[in-house]
A and B are shown apart, each in its own frame.
Chain A
């Protein structure tokens, strides 16, 4: 299994509070991704990173920011959490080297509830 650790695994917080989720990898992969999973929507890309300090938006980036100061860590921040951000969040990584499309490997997810 790919070495991906998400923390925390579960979190309950209140509307308006800041929340940071962490993704840590031990594979030295170039690409890292944050998705959210909601019933009826599958997985939707929030932000992704293609290198240290190189990030870009996905399809549902409003209300989220990310940072990647080291290859192994990718942080997702909700500056002021809202109830619509209650979801399961998944981190993924891919090598991004060589030719062709590389498969993504997923962490076990963080279940976030915002009351």
Chain B
């Protein structure tokens, strides 16, 4: 079946550190891949997406590359800020406009 595996959190970093949050997936066919972010007390917001192999999604300094050979879509940012503290979800579409989400990774950034 379709599934998404994310690294366990929390990920704790100091401001300006480099961020990587790992995401791997299992899917039939060629899914589109997404990263969503959830700030405290809010719903999820789309952060970036990639629709085919080797595509790179980017937004607000975050980026992720769709790697078909390793079935991965790792999220990276070169220099995190305190305001990036949130929960990050990797997701894939299963067709018919439905998404399957990973369990989420909490990021805590300290000054």
Contact = CB atoms under 8 A, between A and B. Distances in A.
Contacts of A101: 32, 51, 93, 97
B32 A100 contact: yes
A106 B103 contact: no
Interface in B34-59: 34, 36, 41-46, 49, 51
Interface residues of A, number: 26
A34 interface: no
A108 B34 contact: no
Contact of B34 (A33, A103, A109): A103
Contacts of B32: 100-101
A48 interface: yes
A40 B104 CA distance: 8
Contacts of B41: 108
Nearest to A104: B99
A60 interface: no
Contacts of B45: 106
A96 B44 contact: no
Interface string A1-13: 0001000000000
A92 B41 CA distance: 16
A45 B2 CA distance: 13
The 7 closest A-B pairs by CB, nearest first: A106-B43, A42-B103, A42-B101, A101-B32, A43-B101, A106-B44, A101-B93
Interface of A: 4, 31, 33, 40-45, 48, 50, 58, 90, 92, 94, 96, 100-109
14 contacts: A33-B98, A42-B89, A42-B102, A43-B44, A43-B89, A44-B101, A45-B98, A58-B98, A101-B93, A104-B99, A106-B43, A106-B44, A108-B41, A108-B42
Given A50-B96, A101-B51, 20 more contacts: A4-B43, A33-B98, A41-B103, A42-B102, A43-B89, A43-B101, A48-B97, A92-B43, A96-B97, A100-B32, A101-B97, A103-B49, A104-B97, A106-B36, A106-B44, A106-B45, A107-B43, A108-B42, A108-B43, A109-B43
